[in-house]
Amino acid sequence: MGATVQTEDVPSAVVDRSACKGRGVRTALWPIRYKPLPDELLSSWLVRLAHGHGLKVQTFCNLIFGNRRQVWKPWQPQVLQDQLTEMGPSESSLDATKYAYLEFRDGGRVHNVGVMSDLVSKLKQSLGKEGCTFHLLHGENLQTKDSASMVIAVGEADGVTYAVDMKRRGVDVTLANTRKARTMGRVLQYMGLALALVGIPMIMVFVGFFMIAVGIFMWRGGKKMAMAYQYQMDLLERQVTLVSRIPGVRLL
């Protein structure tokens, strides 16, 4: 992929496996072991490790830490001071452009990357330039379960960082509408649960089965709806917060 990343192979002889027995510690060495970059966030290191193994970040964390430990949460930030070497095929809509991948010299390949339309030109201008900074958010597509990322800011070599003015784009109204839609999803979810419970005593007749089936359908649909809108809210709130913390950022 053209990425140059430091790795370190640790000989198995130096691993004291007997000391780990009985402690619930997994001692198998990872096939790919990237060294953390200077001042790199833990979330950024986990993203690079997961992509290096060809896995989704959530899947990688579940394999390493177990399903019960929710180490990875949606929309984790990553800051890359790197060179953008390649931009994959893209699909554009009114508000954003989605790239199949972005290739970084040291950070490797990031798949399924969304860029808001106002920021696309700045991203293209950074292609092949040294010393640029890229602010990303990493999450997961709820429908396909594939990894998904967003470029929220691009810093040029001269130190100027550009990001989209979310306030100007009406983020407050969007968040308010999204909260209402999430609430509707939760109401639908609990209505379905109530309908199913009411149908249980009437299970001996046809109407009971019908009520339970409809209730389960409503509960599942409401749960998916609430999760989807909550996920969208998390992305918007995370983006606004991170952009506000970038020193001297110029809003587009």
Domain boundary among 124, 139, 163: 163
Distance CA 212, CA 215 (A): 5
Judgement on whether residues 77 and 145 belong to the same structural domain of the protein:
yes
Asked if residue 82 belongs to a domain, the reply is yes
**What's the pLDDT score for residue 153?**
93
Q: Is residue 65 part of a domain?
A: yes
Which ranges in the chain belong to alpha helices (H)? 17-20, 42-52, 57-65, 117-125, 171-199, 206-244
State the DSSP code for 221.
Answer: H
In the chain, how many domains are there?
A: 2
Q: Domain check: are 151 and 179 in the same one? A: no
* 51 and 158 inside one domain: yes
**Are both 203 and 182 inside the same structural domain?**
yes
Closest C-alpha to 230, from 165, 164, 186, 166: 186
What's the domain range around 224?
171-243
Q: For 80-89, what is each residue's pLDDT tens digit?
A: 888 999 999 9
Which residues of the chain, if any, have pLDDT below 70?
Answer: 1-29, 37-44, 56, 58, 66-74, 141-146
Are 123 and 152 contained in the same domain? yes
pLDDT for res 30: 73
pLDDT reported for residue 99: 93
CATH number at residue 81: 2.40.50
Q: What's the pLDDT at 1? A: 41
CA 65 – CA 26 distance, rounded (Å) = 9
Structure tokens at 190: 């609990």
Query: Is the overall model pTM greater than 0.75, yes or no?
Result: no
- Cβ atoms 239, 150 nearer than 8 A: yes
Which tokens sit at 41? 């966030």
